[in-house]
Structure 1
């Protein structure tokens, strides 16, 4: 009997919990629907208790009972899909987000743990848009993805005549991913092209690769990236096609299967690129050199991230012999009819002798894309440099400046004389003159304003700057200073101003990340986009996880306090404030912070020039009442906090201060007794 009663009671308890969960879920829907009221703030002094305030903030007071019942009825009439879409539209708050295209709304299929592997096996090629539903600004990619998706749906662009599907993946859901996938899905939002390369018949698995898109979010640029991934090598069949292809001054109109219905040009972006490179392989005997041909195709596939590069091949023997006669030793070895030609700029050629060269083809293409005399540092040359992963020598100049113009010209000329000597020593040289490049100087240890200045940078981003304060009127002295600095760098004589990446990893406190579980982590790449969001006031906690740093202990203590503040602001429904964390040990100091005081808290208000209008939180303690007062004074978005909540926070602060004074007093008395 007792056992049966226990079973009966457990059934009643289960039914009750299910009913309560349904009520709770419905209330959550109503809270989200009532966001406009929450964001307007609650007047002070209107409530007698915290419960009364919460009741008002969640829309559950009696005055709104009829209105809530109507909203509940409307929600019940919606299908689950319509309800989900409605909630997604409510979350489209970012400046670049359209209510018609809410977060993760574009695509053919949403990938989950259940269908992920099956979808990959069934689709040889697909586009993947990854995001995180907790990321407020990530929906800015939806517009471009929607435009691309429309072309895929109508088969305007295809892969071997087949429709290309668009899949979406929400990283907020827990999924088992391979190491390759974790690396590819490193940041959000991100768009990738998935392409299968090899069918292993025995185990019926396909070996696929993810190609992340890292250029500007412009539809036609993304289409060109997709085309390069799917068709990395163009097959040219006439002299007219070859001559047009080699004319890099003009954008080449491609006729790959991807563009067979309509070619969509890069347009102005193509002509604004700082570099435009063409590579043409000529195989007189494709069968005899089948292995070299495969290596060439593999190299082309690995270089698809370069917007400035297009690669083609000619296998027609008559055409190969025609160009052998036309260009001779400019393109070919004297005794060979097989070659790879690179045109760095119109009329400037380098060729790779397939029969004699030992360099990796992809490496050779990247290396020959750069000038021995030094290139201007721009977006295209930065991509090439990262792919080469070699040391760099960067000369910062400003030839348009009245004070530094003459010296800058002398320094650039000196760089072009010295650079060729070291080009084959896996060092690449650049000069930086554009404003966006000059702003990067502080990240490379150049803390002075005067130019010219020079810095050597290792592949792991250790840097060795010099200020070039020499007699710039004497060219031989300038050359000597540069050569000595480069020689000292090559022989390891220069002192590393900062610790290396490996040292930083060994000394990193990973537990500090656990203390910031309620704080959004930002990196160097996403920092500017985060703090310039006009819809939110951004509160940034700058800290160091380096256990060797004298500021580490203070960072760990303040990390706990800041994380508690982030949680309390969330519980109070203050949605206009976003709390973020930035680790200078991992990401390095950036111009938007540029302050050696760590740890520190900064407010970037939700308005134009938020970086220039940054406000520093100067109080010694980080508590709720102090932070709220700070935000109410300096934040652009106004909000109000219930009076009893603020009173409780002030009382808690007062009690804490009193307790601290008592402990301090006892410590002083104990010290005096010890001295006596």
Structure 2
């Protein structure tokens, strides 16, 4: 995964004047590697802020460091804040990950670097330091355990871990020490708390009552909205791997909090971009979850609000260039791009096929595609006026007019090309028939976001918005790409009734030519022609 994604999330809006040549806020400024090594020996745990004199964004962190320092002064024991200017102390880079960029904050404990990944907020940073100082909380009673395992109200992503360790000692390789080491890596999981129970009498009692634990040595992972998971700690296993794999749900919204969990899992990630305000969002997620159940051991499934500007940037970065929502793409660390074809129907079967192709390496796009308007497609729709998101409420949802809208995509969507001549002819003919209460529009969802009440899981889609029923669910055309069928569909469901003439899809000259040709056919042939061009008793 690309850590630069979340660099955008930590932009601080505080304005501050600072001297780029000297970052002075802190207990000590690191100026040499020897000084750093001595400071590390003297301080088992400290906070390290890394900046650079050429980094203007680093100025925004200075007020935060000031607030952090004020809080650290009140703590016992006192945790120190060290500063380093990477342009002067280049040796710091060897402790940083390859994709770490300044400004960046670390907790350094026993010489090991732990990067702070959350929003830049002084309270969160102090909480991060506190978690590093005391990664595991000892629980001494059933009441404490009960309270610990009860997540705060309104926090659906809260994760709680409690280890019940019965047979153990305090050796360096003991279960408790292993658990503490793993817990250090969880300090960035802001919505996670880690506890331990060592009282043998309490553990034995809970085991006998079968409350929480089936084993004397158990690890309980509790997450709101999901069943608790329990690991037998007596069995050989990778403890950190088990926690990370079970620390997220089947499908979750990707946040700075659970990002670290997904990063630790290390599996490819499939992201669905949604409109959180769209009334069909739960339906889309339900489809996504069904696919996730089939592939959860190989792929992690997450979603993001695709209407947010920062997420629009993410979409483009991983190959999604249009405004179509929902849309899907893999987020990979190796530069490959696997976008789901924008505008393709969102179904369980089609997404499963897409995931299978990814796992079998059947397709790969190396570069982010650019979106370019299709001039030829625009010509095909030349007789159909455009509606935009800005004019949609007025032109489509305003009462008094029956409105037909085609939602299509001008970006690599073959169906939008196929339907173009048919829908354009429909718009042209309705215009020529001059039904004053009927409007026909098109909206290119490749460049326009759709209304929250409109479901565009399949592109192209045709909807009718009746004159006096401007509320969902709207009427959706699901028939063939046939002008006559579409015209009869509209005639049937409009609020302001009208009657179409014979062969309404033909202009007067075309109609005259049609009747002339028909009169020269046999009775059987005339009947066949009538079925195709005249009879309106379709199953609409």
Q: Please say whether Structure 1 and Structure 2 have the same fold, judged by a TM-score greater than 0.5.
A: yes
- Which residue is equivalent to 2:224? 345
Please, which of 279, 284, 300 is the counterpart of residue 428 of structure 1?
300
- 1:388-443 CA-partner distances (Å, limit 9, x unpaired): 22111222222634xxx54x544322211121111122x11123236336412111
- Which residue is equivalent to 2:328? 454
Q: Which structure: greater helix fraction?
A: 1
CA distance in 2, matches of 1:284, 1:95: 50
Please, which of 45, 60, 72 is the counterpart of residue 140 of structure 1?
60
CA distance in 1, matches of 2:97, 2:121: 24
Mapped contact 1:446–1:465 kept (Cα < 8 A)? yes
CA distance in 1, matches of 2:277, 2:93: 51
CA distance in 1, matches of 2:174, 2:289: 38
Over 3 Å counting, the alpha-carbon distance change for 1:323 and 1:165 in structure 2 is same
Over 3 Å counting, the alpha-carbon distance change for 1:438 and 1:117 in structure 2 is closer
The question of 1:189 aligning with 2:103 is answered: yes
Unpaired runs of 5+ in structure 2? 1-12, 369-540
State the superposition RMSD in angstroms. 3.1
- Which residue is equivalent to 2:204? 321
- 1:178-200 CA-partner distances (Å, limit 9, x unpaired): 72x2438942222222111xxxx
Alignment of 1:221-240 (within 5 A): 221-240=124-143
The question of 1:108 aligning with 2:22 is answered: no
Alignment of 1:366-405 (within 5 A): 366-372=244-250, 374-398=251-275, 400-401=277-278, 405=279
Mapped contact 1:456–1:486 kept (Cα < 8 A)? no
Please, which of 136, 152, 158 is the counterpart of residue 76 of structure 2?
158
Unpaired runs of 5+ in structure 1? 1-93, 197-207, 251-270, 473-477, 500-676
TM-score calculated relative to the size of structure 2: 0.59
- 1:225-248 CA-partner distances (Å, limit 9, x unpaired): 001111111111122221111111
Alignment of 1:584-663 (within 5 A): none
Mapped contact 1:281–1:312 kept (Cα < 8 A)? yes
Please, which of 283, 300, 316 is the counterpart of residue 183 of structure 2?
300
Alignment of 1:486-635 (within 5 A): 486-498=355-367
The question of 1:130 aligning with 2:50 is answered: yes
Indicate the SS of the match to 1:279.
strand
Alignment of 1:41-56 (within 5 A): none
CA distance in 2, matches of 1:481, 1:355: 43
Mapped contact 2:118–2:256 kept (Cα < 8 A)? no
Task: Measure how far apart 1:376 and its partner are.
Answer: 2.1
TM-score calculated relative to the size of structure 1: 0.48
- 1:483-539 CA-partner distances (Å, limit 9, x unpaired): 21111111111233339xxxxxxxxxxxxxxxxxxxxxxxxxxxxxxxxxxxxxxxx
Over 3 Å counting, the alpha-carbon distance change for 1:127 and 1:185 in structure 2 is farther
The alignment of Structure 1 onto Structure 2 pairs a total of residues equal to 353
Please, which of 132, 139, 144 is the counterpart of residue 241 of structure 1?
144
Task: Measure how far apart 1:464 and its partner are.
Answer: 1.5
- 1:44-86 CA-partner distances (Å, limit 9, x unpaired): xxxxxxxxxxxxxxxxxxxxxxxxxxxxxxxxxxxxxxxxxxx
Task: Measure how far apart 1:249 and its partner are.
Answer: 1.8
CA distance in 2, matches of 1:98, 1:194: 28
CA distance in 2, matches of 1:191, 1:96: 19
- Which residue is equivalent to 1:262? none
Mapped contact 1:303–1:362 kept (Cα < 8 A)? no
Please, which of 193, 216, 238 is the counterpart of residue 310 of structure 1?
193
Over 3 Å counting, the alpha-carbon distance change for 1:469 and 1:131 in structure 2 is closer
- 1:608-644 CA-partner distances (Å, limit 9, x unpaired): xxxxxxxxxxxxxxxxxxxxxxxxxxxxxxxxxxxxx
- Which residue is equivalent to 1:416? 289
Mapped contact 1:343–1:349 kept (Cα < 8 A)? yes
Over 3 Å counting, the alpha-carbon distance change for 1:497 and 1:142 in structure 2 is closer
Mapped contact 2:170–2:176 kept (Cα < 8 A)? no
Mapped contact 1:112–1:169 kept (Cα < 8 A)? yes
Task: Measure how far apart 1:326 and its partner are.
Answer: 4.4
